[in-house]
Structure 1
Amino acid sequence: MLQVMAALSGAIAVAAGAYGAHGAHGKAAEWLSTGAQYQLVHAVAALVAMGMGARGASWAFVAGAALFAGTLYLMAAGAPKWLGAVTPIGGLVLIGGWVWLAWAGVRAS
């Protein structure tokens, strides 16, 4: 299931990035671009972490990307701007995923 979620996360990132580049304007295009970049990188990171056996880091990458990019996508679609206060929480979860992955690497060596 985690692999499926990471793969779908990558697909959503590509779609959001494409819409940001070709259909959105102004701040919405910026939010879509930023969200897509972070989500795509972390979809790949989730798959790599799975290969390393660091499932916790994978979950953090998928969940953090959903929070981080999801709030940006929602604001781009017209949701209230206060959602921008939630975006950094997703960023913290992403950072936690990288720390978790580093710890898994230390434990493996």
Structure 2
Amino acid sequence: MFMAFLLAGISGFLAVALGAFGAHGLKQRLSADMMAVYETAVQYHFYHTLALLLVAVMLQQGVQSAALRASVWLFGLGIVVFSGSLYALAISGVKILGAITPIGGVLFLIGWACLAYTGFRSLS
């Protein structure tokens, strides 16, 4: 539980910092296409930070399942791989970095599936 809150807090801090950096430090330096890539990274970073926070609250409320705990790590790794690769792509222009972005997307999908599975299991 503590780890989920810690990850959500660090991730939220970084999402705000990187979003501000993009808006104020990169807007004049990146092409419109690369700025859109950077903004996508920030959006997904925020969305999945909120998912981490939701899972942390669920764990604090006593919902316990291996799938729920796995979703913490899947969302966290998804942020690093998906958003991280897009941040790096936008800043560096190295196109090959976009090739690993879908791995992060798959991690997000599995994290959401674990969350859904936890909800499904609580129905019975």
Sequence identity, in percent?
40
Q: Which residue of 2 aligns with 1:92?
A: 106
Alignment coverage as a number of residue pairs: 109
Letter in 2 for 1:37: Q
The equivalences for 1:1-109 within 5 A come to 1-24=3-26, 25-26=30-31, 27-53=33-59, 54-78=68-92, 80-109=94-123
Distance 1:50 1:8 in 2: 13
Report the TM-score when normalising by structure 1: 0.89
Maintained 8 Å contact 1:16/1:32? no
Distance 1:30 1:19 in 2: 14
CA offsets per residue over residues 1-27 of structure 1, 9 Å max, x none?
332122111111112222222222323
Distance 2:81 2:4 in 1: 16
Indicate the structure (1 or 2) with the bigger Cα radius of gyration. 2
RMSD: 1.5
Gaps of 5+ in 2: 60-67
Report the TM-score when normalising by structure 2: 0.79
Runs of 4+ displaced beyond 4 Å: none
